[in-house]
Chains A and B, each alone.
Chain A
Amino acid sequence: MSGGAGTPGIDDAMAAVLFVGITLYATTGGADFGGGVWDLLAVRDRRGTGPREVIDRSVTAVWEANHVWLVFILVILWTAFPAAFAAVMTTLWIPMVIALFGIVLRGAGFAYRKEVRHLRARQATGIVFASSSLIAPFFFGAAVGGIAAGRVRTGFVTGLVSSWTSGFSILAGALFVAAGAFLSAVYLCTDTTAQGRLELRPYFVRRALAAGLVTGGIALGALFDLASTDARLYDHLTGRAVPLVVVSGLLGVTTLVQLARGCTAGTRPLAAGAVAAVVWGWGWAQYPDLLATSLPLRTGSAPTGTMDALLVVFALAVGLVLPSLGLLYYLATRQELGEDERDVAGAALVGAPQGGPPGQDPGPAGARRHPADGLLGLALAFGAGFTAGRRERPAGRRQGRRATRRRPARRRRR
């Protein structure tokens, strides 16, 4: 975030930290919402069962850790940029409340769905999980659209519905949903390989292609909308932020080409990078304003003591959280993590291998990608990590065995 007005200071660094959090949330938590969208769109009969199982296995172990990035964003925002936080949460009160309800219902619906056994109850909790996965990102997107378009101003403005109902806000909401669905479908493509559900790979490849095209279309549509409604943001996006916009487009197109060729091994970081570049494009277009036209970064920042503390927080995130995420990822790739079904069901688990050493398990399933993909995407967005994709493990080995025994065992019991 250097450049801008004068020499970059600690305020700029903290804005960058905030965007790191947003990027990680968008590329991991956003994809979890996307999983819910695909769950919602899968047909409600037996043909939808396979895709739902793949989605379920992919999201289970990681969604909570991914979700916490949202809390990270909020605490950085209210501590480092308190005035902007207060203004955003007041002016965009309605979309934030709706998104919040969506988040609660998504998480609870997903958690309960794992534990209820009765078919009806499973369907009910599943529908709650899936539909709220649509609601939450849409209203987050609409809110972010309002912020980007400069419709949130300092102070406590209430009743300003137009702050998030403009055409651009609606498009931004749709973009959030579509981008999440796109990321999710790309991740799920590789997860099918890892879970031994190769027959479902074309299913998700088709959806990833469709979602990618829709996402690109919405992004272009939003840009055209800005050309006529918001000259300032349009100029920034087509001016100084244009490299990021171009990078995003290139990565998106490359992802689609890779998908069409059926080669999904390297597509995850490409797709995550495409989304990350959009996030940073937004940030770069808005810089150095916290709230466009009304609150510059310098004015809206907390005192240096606070910023120093937050840098320590960021250092802890890098020094403690990232290695921990790496450990989770490493264990998942080594197939050292799996859903614990055997005990809970009692010994009724017919035929499941009982406590054999890792590796005997027939079907690998996926504690997957998320944290690492977010990081890889981030690296790509910085333009520093085009080689990062190489570090990604072959998809087949990245997967833990998490849910392998769960469903078959359960079905047998019923």
Chain B
Amino acid sequence: MTGLLAVAGGHDVVASRAQMASTLGFHIILACFGIAFPTVILVVHFIGLRRHDGAALLLARRWSKVLAVLVAVGAVSGTVLSFEMGLLWPGLFRVYGAAVGIPFAFEGIFFLLEAIFTAIYLYGWDRLSPWAHWWSGVPVAVSGLFGALCVVAANSWMNQPGGFVMSHGRVTAVHPLAVIFNAATTYEVPHMELAAYLVTAFGVAAPYAVGMVRHPDRRRSRYHRLGLLVPSVIAAICTPLQIFVGDTIARAIEHQQPVKFASMEYVVHTHRGVTEWIGGIYYHGHIYLGLNIPYFDSILVGFSPHTEVVGWDSVPRSQRPPLPSLIHNAFDLMVGIAFLMLALAAWLAVSWWRKRDFPVTRWFAGLTALGAPAAIVALECGWIVTEVGRQPWVVYKRMTVAQAATPVPDVPWTFGAIVALYIVLTITTLVVLALMARRWNRSTEVAEHDVPYGPGRAHGAASVRQ
């Protein structure tokens, strides 16, 4: 670590970046559940209330219990990020805090609303009237969406800074709306929100999918079918939208941040008829082990094989992102996973179209189970593309990461400590969730007593029993 730091030149840029990367990489997963899980819960809750379906109500009730744990851990890991803005990047906030802080300030409101209504929803089971209780969950889902809009707007501002006037190195005028709705907000926000829904949907479906693979009789249980199919349908709706949004983003990035795009697609020199590379390692001007499709990158960018694409040698080496192989392969992996998810969505759609039934087969369940880790990998890959692809800038073309970093020399220590802490947190969270699942598995056979709101349980309870 010290060798690397010496290269970075005094400041703990490497340690700061590594700490930010690990804490944000951890939080982003929990944030996804914070954004999308309430909606998924409200969908099954709605089904349960509307159809007097005990199995659906039981699922909603148990999922809200899981949400409680994830939201609590997410609240603290989000606080870590708030502190890190100052502990790691005081240079960024000293200069640009007045602009980039604005979306964060609005996010604070949605965070508060989310916490309040989450408490009402979580502790309202059986206490509030059924529909009032359902409605108390709606503000959680809505403020999750808006909160994500704000946070992602701050990130997109770093990619496309706007809405402020600088003079003598100081921000002297700020236009708040132009800060929040900067040139990258319109596409980064839907991309992240859809990603959150995909991660959550596959994450929620996975335990039921695994259960069906292990215990084939569960495929006939309404409880387990709902647990698998509600999130699967949500994922199937989001996947094609996400691919469309992602495709649009790639073109926008080619336009707005050409060097990032060049790293994503291995475009070294600016030229026409650019080859699309799938996979491959870039090393000293050569690309090894990659598939290439001539002209296809130009076609993707401008719908014509003669479209000119800017290469990364258009800027000096000091302004190019490091590790093009990482950026390119993370991008390809994300896109590849999205198309696998699309295949799964198509399977679901075809089965429904032909048989008016869902494909609750061993294969479908198994692939859905794999979708959970795949969705998280895609999420992290997308985030690597955004963040590593923006290097060396923290505020695109205005401030480098090194200029933003703290001069405090102790960051490697906190980096080590926080990685250790987060490993413990991750393991504990997974163990706690596994224990909850085991407890519930044991008690499904008596679940008819658990069906919320008393009457109307006849429908689902029988199928819950196994």
Contacts and interface: CB of A to CB of B under 8 A. Distances in A.
Interface stretch (B110-118, B209-217, B275-283): B110-118
A250 interface: no
B123 A337 contact: yes
Given A79-B105, A103-B79, A111 B127 contact: no
Nearest to A302: B98
A116 B123 contact: no
B99 A306 contact: yes
A280 to B, nearest CB: 21
A78 B418 CA distance: 23
B97 interface: yes
Given A71-B82, A112-B432, A339 B123 contact: yes
A45 interface: no
A88 B87 CA distance: 9
Interface string A60-87: 0110110111111011101110110111
A331 interface: yes
Question: Could you tell me the dominant secondary structure of chain A's interface residues?
Answer: helix
Interface string A209-246: 00000000000000000000000000000000000000
A355 B90 contact: no
Contacts of B75: 64, 67-68, 107
A96 B116 contact: no
Interface stretch (A253-261, A268-276, A317-325): A317-325
A75 B104 contact: yes
Given A68-B115, A340-B64, A358-B127, 13 more contacts: A67-B115, A71-B111, A78-B85, A82-B96, A82-B97, A86-B91, A97-B83, A103-B76, A107-B72, A115-B436, A313-B105, A342-B450, A346-B444
B406 interface: yes
14 contacts: A67-B76, A68-B115, A70-B82, A75-B107, A89-B86, A104-B79, A112-B432, A313-B105, A317-B109, A321-B109, A336-B127, A346-B449, A347-B446, A401-B127
A51 to B, nearest CB: 22
A267 interface: no
Interface string A8-24: 00000000000000000
A303 B172 contact: yes
Nearest to B124: A337
A190 B108 CA distance: 31
A90 B90 contact: yes
A343 interface: yes
A74 B106 CA distance: 12
Given A100-B80, A320-B113, A79 B104 contact: yes
B97 A79 contact: yes
Interface stretch (B223-231, B322-330, B343-351, B407-415): B407-415
Contact of B72 (A72, A111, A308): A111
Interface string B62-93: 10110011011101111110110111001101
A156 B72 contact: no
Contacts of A72: 108, 112
B122 interface: yes
Given A65-B112, A309-B102, A338-B123, A82 B95 contact: yes
A100 B105 CA distance: 20
B99 A89 contact: no
A65 B80 contact: no
A2 interface: no
Interface of B: 58, 61-62, 64-65, 68-69, 71-73, 75-80, 82-83, 85-87, 90-91, 93-99, 101-102, 104-109, 111-113, 115-120, 122-128, 139, 171-176, 406-410, 414, 417-418, 421, 425, 428-429, 432, 435-436, 439-440, 442-444, 446-450, 452-454
Nearest to B436: A115
A279 B2 CA distance: 42
A340 B171 contact: no
B56 to A, nearest CB: 13
Contact of B77 (A96, A104, A115, A355): A104
B12 to A, nearest CB: 11
Nearest to B106: A313
B112 A355 contact: no
A70 B406 contact: no
Contacts of B408: 90, 93, 158
B87 A89 contact: yes
Nearest to B454: A355
A116 B115 CA distance: 22
Contacts of A347: 443, 446-450
Contacts of B109: 313, 316-317, 320-321
A291 to B, nearest CB: 13
